[in-house]
Chains A and B, each alone.
Chain A
């Protein structure tokens, strides 16, 4: 499988550990389905841990944006954690880095909700 997703709860924050490639097809679909499921269950505080994401394409970026928009419109918050240089650079050149609330340590990210 191109991407692995693990969901855990830290207090009232849902943390999704994402590993692998978020690309068109299996990767982006898996992320989309996981976020939809969480939103459907009414989860309002979602932290995407992208520390083990080694590749993301424009479709993957689209899923991050879609998830952010959907969670925000439902009154929740979606934040990002542990971006590597590649993902950070991509979000910066697409001017999305300042749209997301990005964190480098999990404890701080959890406290920020």
Chain B
């Protein structure tokens, strides 16, 4: 974890379409903020992957590519935290109902690893149903500042 000598807070917010192009856009936006915040290559890789997985969940599973539904995306860097929030407008689901992808009976499934990977890559991960519908996730990577 590289020390952040820049210490310049930055926030980027977007309302994105429910498309795979938005997944790419969100990844690039997040990596841009992360690079300017001085995060190292390993953290950049992990953030990029976590953002992609979260966006795919929002676009594909949440909004189901519905052109009338948007994904709210925000990325911010403060003194000691790099935070991404992604919210969809789907029907929502119970996160407790997700099968464990590492369980022997699930190991050979062809899907279901996204949230597990996000948790593996980020220092904090939180997911909840939004009052207005859909799901929101918060991803946090700790940074160090002087």
Contacts and interface: CB of A to CB of B under 8 A. Distances in A.
Interface string A55-68: 00111011101101
A1 interface: no
Size class of the B contact interface (CB-based, 8 Å): 20 to 34
B107 A57 contact: no
Given A24-B60, A66-B110, A99-B108, A94 B52 contact: no
User: Which secondary structure dominates where chain B touches chain A?
Assistant: helix
Contacts of A99: 107-108
B16 interface: no
Contacts of B108: 65, 68-69, 99
Contacts, number: 45
B110 A63 contact: yes
B102 interface: yes
Interface of B: 20, 23, 45, 49, 52-53, 56, 60, 101-102, 107-111, 113-114, 116-117, 120
A107 interface: no
A49 interface: no
A53 to B, nearest CB: 14
